Amino acid sequence: MIPATPTFVLTLSCPDRKGLVHAVSGFLLEQGGNIEEAAQFNDHSTGLFFMRLQFRAPERSLEQLQQALSEFAPPLQITWSLHDACTPVPTVVFVSREGHCLNDLLFRFKSGLLPIDIRAIISNHRDFYQLAASYNVPFHHIPVTKDNKAQAEARQYEIIQGEGAELVVLARYMQILSDDFSQKLAGRAINIHHSFLPSFKGAKPYYQAHDRGVKLIGATAHYVTADLDEGPIIEQDVARVDHSLTVEDLTAIGRDTESQVLARAVKWHSEHRILINGQKTVVFR
């Protein structure tokens, strides 16, 4: 059998200037790379340039390319990230008592529909330990109260680090992370909020939506920051509703939207298609 040629994904951002595409493609050519997929975006409001390239480089290892990039990037003020496209992203999932998003992620993971490796599930309740066991994923029950929050987050972070997790997914985890914990997870923690942000932040958004008589309900996947429900938005979607529906109806309809939105955000993150642009994101779908 002929060994597969290594495939890599390079993402980068830097101040915009003439010749960047030529410079980057020329660098990859020097490394023996063959570009298979490329996308770029110039943000004229900030003067920043963003780029994602998928390429093969049969003569280079990941470490050799990283070393070469560390020498190539500084003169152009490039911030970069390089990944092996064939390596699933190590992931830890947080959940509370609503399991639809967790169940969806586990199914997609085991079905090979998401390039992630779910290594642990952390919950402040015991509800889903059997679900975790059915997928052979370790389950950690860590109760969280106002009195033990610091100790609980320290244990959670210990698990994240111990599993080598590069992605943390808050799949309807109904606890507010501390500022310190949020900062530790910056850029690698995705939350699903059950409303179309910036509308209806905080608790019970379906109740808020019902009280306002909205005709659309939505879900938002965003990166976690210290500001509640204010992180850079990755993906959103909506479902049409009307006056005849109860809060329970809105909640049931919203579950499907939440699961789909979160799955898309996790897929794009794990395929290295997202770059953070201040309070926004650039998503090369």
| Residues assigned a catalytic role | 229
Q: How is residue 68 annotated by DSSP?
A: H
Phi, then psi, of 241 in degrees rounded to 5 = -135, 175
Q: Whats the size of the chain, residue-wise?
A: 285
The residue assigned the tokens 């997928």 is 135
Cα distances from 89 to residues 52, 84, 164, 271, in angstroms, run 17, 10, 10, 9
Distance CA 83, CA 270 (A): 10
Q: What is the residue-wise DSSP string for 106-157? A: HHHHHTT-SSEEEEEEEESSSTTHHHHHHTT--EEE----TTTHHHHHHHHH
Pick the closest to residue 16 from 35, 37, 41 (CA basis). 41
Distance CA 222, CA 187 (A): 10
* Per-residue tokens: 120: 């642990």
Pick the closest to residue 190 from 114, 80, 251 (CA basis). 114
The answer to whether 270 and 116 have CB atoms below 8 angstroms apart is: yes
